Structure 1
Amino acid sequence: MSAADTTTPTEVPPPMSVPPPSRPAPSSRKRTFSATPWLLLAPCLLILVLVLGYPLVRLVGLSFQKFGQSQLWGFQPAEWVGFDNFTGVLGDSEFWAVVVRTVVFAAGCVIFTMVAGMLIALLLQRVSGWVKTLVNIALVASWGMPIIVATTVFKWLFDADYGILNALLSKLPGVEMIGHNWFASGPQGLAVIMLLVVWGAVPFVVITLSAGLTQVPAELEEAARLDGASAWGVFRYVTVPVLKPIIVMLTTLSVIWDMGVFPQVFVMRNGHPEEEFQLLTTYSYDRAFVVNDYAQGSAIALLTVLLLLGVVAVYMRQMLKIGEVE
């Protein structure tokens, strides 16, 4: 046996498992308070407090008092009556009729505004540049028209004796509208006022939705069409999800604005809205400045504010859900 045969083979150690590199711990940044944003917002907040804060505090105070003409002129002191004003308002059947009328009116305005605004915004995506420019100019012009001027124009359009709408409709075969009074009944008159509100609100919706439509990815729409989706399918499953935050915002703002409609009804009815034309805003005004019951008018206004705060709460909840999904 040779010396080479007597040597013991060297043992090769097994490969050592290398531990994976450890991830560096995320650096925890301390959140420091910065006063700069609050300083920049301070002028706006101060204006809001002065313009909205004091009237709101005064409104709450009046709603818990007995405050009429005698208290206004200082003949009698204001008396705290607790919830008596709210009990009287909530127990009045006329108040609930006004609430239902206001909700139906606002819902109709919001639905027609959003549908018309969406249709016009989609149409503007498919027209030539100069047509789009002309439509945008007309929208901005109508949006910038003062409410009093727009209401006066609509009063002339729907006038029973000299209205151009009655004259045009009477030219249709079998239609006789000369002398027709659109405000003889509440539903017809509120429909005219609703048309006025929608006409003034549509431009803002169209411009906002048109800006949102430019952010819809064209490749997603093309992919949906290649998968066999119809035009309605592309709109429902591609366009609407992208525009959902904008639609929620516009719908909420429209509800708030349409629930607070006042000058259109007030001017259209010459400062004295009849019972079947009363909305929450005009009803509160009549109670305060026609009946001279400022306390009950304040209670109605405060209930309206609480109702609108409920709408704002729903809006904030929807926006938070959208933020969580994204």
Structure 2
Amino acid sequence: MSAADTTSPVKVPPPRPAPPPATAKEPGRTRTSGGAAVPWVLLAPCLLVLALVMGYPLVRLVTLSFQKFGQSQLWGFQPAESVGFDNFAEVLGDSTFWAVVLRTILFAAGSVIFTMVAGMLIALLLQRVSGWVKTLINIALVASWGMPIIVATTVFKWLFDADYGIFNALLSKLPGVDMIGHNWFASGPQGLVVIMLLVVWGAVPFVVITLSAGLTQVPKELEEAARLDGAGYWGVFRHVTLPILKPIIVMLTTLSVIWDMGVFPQVFVMRGGHPEAEFQLLTTYSYDKAFVVNDYAQGSAIALLTVLLLLGVVAVYMRQMLKIGEVE
């Protein structure tokens, strides 16, 4: 028997089962401890600044609106007295307050409508002009947008001046029109129209720039398809462009309402710091009650009612922002 025959057979161990494949981690899905707190940490500086800048004035505003607080309380001769809702009852029962509310709503509505219409027309025009014309218009828009409100108000006072105003001189050149010496501020409606033009002039650049950016997102294929189906320019705008721009239009309209309801320096400076009764809006009316009549409690109550009036507009704005966030 050979040596090969006496060798014992080698036992081969059974194969081990292969380990399960490692699950690949998706990029950007790494979960870290305390990840939920990161957004709040990033927002903390901004929230702190808002609390310091707006928190105390808002708390003080609410406190004053429920107190009797005049010049005697301001100088410390008498302590502030809590009067509950008496200030609100007196303000809401005053017919002058409701006249100011109606005037403010009409002023804001007119300003917003003119701003959105003019902004849309200019934005559509920018899509059809040459590059250098678009550049010049954008420079003019940014220049007017960056002009301080006090400077713009002074310029408008000069343009509509009864004796030296350019606007009256230009209108007088029309056949049968004599506007030399016409005082635009002799009546409230005419004067508020001038102030409305000032507000629109300052607000249009932001609307134009925003809508121009939105128009670049309108697919050209949809516009061409609508034209092939027989739609004219108005039909393309109504059925293609307008639905795509609707979220932007809603946001711009809401922001414009908030800004125009809070107009103060334009009216205050245009009327030399003493707006007449026909020029009073909610902001100037609250200011006069607090710092002219020295009834700081009623001025605070009017300001707080204005804030509550705007909360509905802010709710619409936030709802639209959330909708856009869900779509994205």
Q: Tell me which residue corresponds to 1:245.
A: 247
Residue 320 of structure 1 deviates from its aligned partner by: 4.5
Alignment of 1:156-235 (within 5 A): 156-235=158-237
Residue 223 of structure 1 deviates from its aligned partner by: 0.9
Gaps of 5+ in 2: 1-29
Rounded to whole Å, the distance in 2 between the matches of 1:292 and 1:106 is 27
1:103 aligned residue (102, 105, 110): 105
Residue 324 of structure 1 deviates from its aligned partner by: 6.3
Rounded to whole Å, the distance in 2 between the matches of 1:90 and 1:311 is 21
Residue 321 of structure 1 deviates from its aligned partner by: 5.2
Deviations 1:145-187 (A, max 9, x none): 0000000000000000111111111121111111100000010
Alignment of 1:11-26 (within 5 A): none
Please say if 1:271 is aligned against 2:273: yes
Comparing 137-146 and 303-312, the one that deviates more? 303-312
Alignment of 1:48-63 (within 5 A): 48-63=50-65
2:132 aligned residue (113, 119, 130): 130
Rounded to whole Å, the distance in 2 between the matches of 1:137 and 1:30 is 47
Residue 113 of structure 1 deviates from its aligned partner by: 0.1
User: How many residues were matched structurally?
Assistant: 300
Alignment of 1:68-83 (within 5 A): 68-83=70-85
Deviations 1:263-284 (A, max 9, x none): 0000000000000000000000
Comparing 60-69 and 235-244, the one that deviates more? 235-244
Comparing 41-50 and 278-287, the one that deviates more? 41-50
Residue 314 of structure 1 deviates from its aligned partner by: 2.2
Secondary structure (helix, strand or coil) at the match of 2:58 reads helix
Is the CA contact 2:158–2:164 (under 8 Å) kept in the aligned structure 1? yes
Alignment of 1:111-130 (within 5 A): 111-130=113-132
Amino acid in structure 2 at the alignment position of 1:315:
Y
Secondary structure (helix, strand or coil) at the match of 1:165 reads helix
Comparing 128-137 and 230-239, the one that deviates more? 230-239
Amino acid in structure 1 at the alignment position of 2:169:
A
Rounded to whole Å, the distance in 1 between the matches of 2:118 and 2:170 is 23
RMSD, aligned CA: 1.8
Rounded to whole Å, the distance in 1 between the matches of 2:179 and 2:263 is 29
Rounded to whole Å, the distance in 2 between the matches of 1:323 and 1:248 is 14
Rounded to whole Å, the distance in 2 between the matches of 1:42 and 1:322 is 25
Amino acid in structure 2 at the alignment position of 1:246:
I
Residue 37 of structure 1 deviates from its aligned partner by: 1.8
Rounded to whole Å, the distance in 2 between the matches of 1:235 and 1:53 is 44
Q: Tell me which residue corresponds to 2:147.
A: 145
Amino acid in structure 2 at the alignment position of 1:129:
G
TM value normalised by structure 1: 0.89
Amino acid in structure 2 at the alignment position of 1:270:
G
Gaps of 5+ in 1: 1-28
Is the CA contact 2:69–2:295 (under 8 Å) kept in the aligned structure 1? yes
TM value normalised by structure 2: 0.88
Q: Tell me which residue corresponds to 1:84.
A: 86
Deviations 1:164-217 (A, max 9, x none): 111111121111111100000010000000000000000000000000100111
Secondary structure (helix, strand or coil) at the match of 2:179 reads coil
Secondary structure (helix, strand or coil) at the match of 1:77 reads coil
Deviations 1:230-256 (A, max 9, x none): 111111111111111111110010000
Rounded to whole Å, the distance in 2 between the matches of 1:175 and 1:72 is 54
Rounded to whole Å, the distance in 1 between the matches of 2:270 and 2:138 is 28
Amino acid in structure 2 at the alignment position of 1:286:
D
Secondary structure (helix, strand or coil) at the match of 2:269 reads helix
Residue 69 of structure 1 deviates from its aligned partner by: 0.2
Amino acid in structure 2 at the alignment position of 1:39:
V
Rounded to whole Å, the distance in 2 between the matches of 1:170 and 1:156 is 16
Residue 30 of structure 1 deviates from its aligned partner by: 8.7
Deviations 1:283-303 (A, max 9, x none): 000000000000000000000
Rounded to whole Å, the distance in 2 between the matches of 1:316 and 1:149 is 33
Amino acid in structure 2 at the alignment position of 1:227:
D
Residue 226 of structure 1 deviates from its aligned partner by: 1.0
- Identity in percent: 89
Residue 323 of structure 1 deviates from its aligned partner by: 6.0
Q: Tell me which residue corresponds to 1:9.
A: none
Is the CA contact 2:251–2:320 (under 8 Å) kept in the aligned structure 1? no
Q: Tell me which residue corresponds to 1:35.
A: 37
